[in-house]
Amino acid sequence: MDAVDIFIIGGGVNGTGIARDAAGRGLSVVLAEQGDLAQATSSASTKLFHGGLRYLEYFEFHLVREALRERETLLVAMPHISWPMRFVLPYSPEMRFEGATPTSKLLSTVMPWMKGRRPAWLIRLGLFLYDNLGGRKILPGTRKVDLAADAAGAPLQDRFAFAYEYSDCWVEDARLVSLNARDAGIRGATILTRTKVIEARREGDLWRVETEAGTWHARALVNAGGPWVERVVKDTAHVATKEGIRLVRGSHIVVPKLYDHDRAYFFQGEDGRIIFAIPYETDFTLIGTTDQDHKGDPAHPVCTPEEQDYLCAFASGYFKVPVTRDQVVWTYSGVRPLYDDGASAAQSATREYVLSLDSDGPPILSVFGGKITTYRRLAENALAKLAPFFPKAGGEWTARAPLPGGDFPHDQVAALRERLRAEHPFLTPAWAARLIRAYGTDAWPLLDGARDAAALGQDFGATLTEAEVRWLMRHEHARSAEDVVWRRSKLGLRLTEEEVAALDRFMKGTE
């Protein structure tokens, strides 16, 4: 078999983002993912396209600016799976800084009487920078909120008199990965899931890549192994390097919805950390995250009972009605693969990504760290690093190209939903809303002109039909019920165990 240009290890947001970008430049690409797409970190994030307000306190201006600029580019390219969100930050004078951030050190020198507290003027300054660093055009700016008069104050304890409200964006992280893989495939890439890369060796001008599904030869290797990046470079590809990662676990809990409006909360703790409480899947609230050094296998991180208690107690410090562990309906946990810069505390390790190129023979590019928010820019930078090896490759193109189903204006979601219902009157409002949010304009070919629900085949519950499952198997690499109910959708929150088992039997039978 002929050699391909780029072989990519890892089907998270970074691997699939690089695959899509490279395929669109005319390069031949193979991507291998050992499990399902987005099975690791990229489905376990807080799901925000955000600049990272708190990174300003670490003076990470470059990272924050790049991410802020990127929010609106991404929002326009995927108006179905991402949307603007307002964040309410209640103020209390007792709020403290995280450990020893550069800002807290500076402040304790010039204003020692603050004793580690985070003053209101500093939050206003941070939000001013946040509003203005990133060339905002679509998202509204910061405003001050009187919590006695605004609906955002209703679920909060009376001790909070005012809050600041600022903008970021929500994104369906696992669908982002799936749609990048789908688009890469449309542009000619080969996407292999459930295919582990066992070994890669340099052979003359090429990499010889052994996978569970056979051997490939490639001109360049991209290691987007996320939490496994260090293992892949050292043990799988046998490349000596001093670079490493630090694994930091972050966990979330999901509870029945705690309040009725559509804004999220940004809570600051007296320990200096912050958490979010975010409206989730219509009927739920998502609370997270924790931030702990992770020892052991990155494959199956879990939200420990202690982490659940921590998140409940943190949120209960803000909400009038305490949040308790028996309310938790689901938890998830991921491991941040942060570039090891030797920083001391877990939460102060840099969030910048590092692209490391070893060209002592055919090149291998390893991706360390990164955020969902910067995946597209990361892919562009990765291809810039590989450009000398592929002089005929095309230039940057992804900033202006919608993801599959995202070819409509970002402010037309409601109109699209109404059109879908008008043309398929059997859809309930919630069903149509879910299809538009998941598939955008691809909802039409998915429904394929169906005139009634029966035309969509077997009903698996919670509006999931055979037509949708077949679409996901054919176009989005779904192979098991778990792929469908926890990554291509979050219908796992609504389906019973029996319904999920029936779905799995159906999918195994149609393979």
Ligand X SMILES: Cc1cc2nc3c(=O)[nH]c(=O)nc-3n(C[C@H](O)[C@H](O)[C@H](O)COP(=O)(O)OP(=O)(O)OC[C@H]3O[C@@H](n4cnc5c(N)ncnc54)[C@H](O)[C@@H]3O)c2cc1C
Binder among 24, 317, 334, 440 for ligand X (CB under 6 A)? 334
CB of 278 to ligand X, least distance (A): 10
Binder among 44, 222, 420, 503 for ligand X (CB under 6 A)? 44
DSSP state of 361: S
Question: Which of these ranges, 33-41, 111-119, 133-141, 354-362, lies near ligand X under the rule CB under 6 A?
Answer: 33-41
Pick 253 or 432: Cβ nearer ligand X: 253
DSSP state of 436: H
CB of 50 to ligand X, least distance (A): 6
Annotate 152-176 with b (16+ C-beta within 10 A) or e (fewer).
bbebbeeebebbbbbbbbbbbbbbb
Pick 52 or 440: Cβ nearer ligand X: 52
Q: Is 226 in the site for ligand X (CB under 6 A)?
A: yes
Pick 58 or 228: Cβ nearer ligand X: 228
CA separation for the pair 271, 107 (Å, rounded): 17
CB of 369 to ligand X, least distance (A): 7
CB of 230 to ligand X, least distance (A): 10
Q: Is 51 in the site for ligand X (CB under 6 A)?
A: no
CB of 333 to ligand X, least distance (A): 7
Our measurement of the distance from residue 499's CA atom to the centroid of its chain's CA atoms, rounded to an integer in Å, reads: 27
Strands 364-368 vs 459-461: parallel, antiparallel or unpaired: unpaired
Q: Is 8 in the site for ligand X (CB under 6 A)?
A: no
Question: Which of these ranges, 32-40, 79-87, 124-132, 310-318, lies near ligand X under the rule CB under 6 A?
Answer: 32-40
Cβ distance 241 to 234 under 8 Å? yes
CA separation for the pair 174, 281 (Å, rounded): 14
CB of 298 to ligand X, least distance (A): 8
Strands 48-49 vs 162-171: parallel, antiparallel or unpaired: antiparallel
Question: Which of these ranges, 201-209, 237-245, 332-340, 484-492, lies near ligand X under the rule CB under 6 A?
Answer: 332-340
Binder among 51, 126, 153, 225 for ligand X (CB under 6 A)? 225
Site for ligand X in 244-283 (CB under 6 A): 250
Q: What is the CA radius of gyration of the chain?
A: 23
Report the candidate in 272, 274, 211 with the shortest Cα–Cα distance to residue 31.
Answer: 211
Pick 134 or 250: Cβ nearer ligand X: 250
Q: Which two tokens stand for residue 61?
A: 């201006």
Question: Which of these ranges, 219-227, 311-319, 385-393, 459-467, lies near ligand X under the rule CB under 6 A?
Answer: 219-227
Strands 190-192 vs 29-32: parallel, antiparallel or unpaired: parallel
Q: Is 367 in the site for ligand X (CB under 6 A)?
A: yes
Strands 29-32 vs 354-358: parallel, antiparallel or unpaired: unpaired
Q: Is 163 in the site for ligand X (CB under 6 A)?
A: no
Q: Which two tokens stand for residue 53?
A: 């307000």
| Phi, psi (deg, nearest 5) at residue 32 | -120, 130
CA separation for the pair 47, 33 (Å, rounded): 21
Pick 314 or 431: Cβ nearer ligand X: 314
Residues forming contacts to ligand X in the complex (CB under 6 A) are 9-15, 32-35, 39-42, 44-48, 50, 196-197, 224-228, 232, 236, 250, 289, 334-336, 367, 370-373
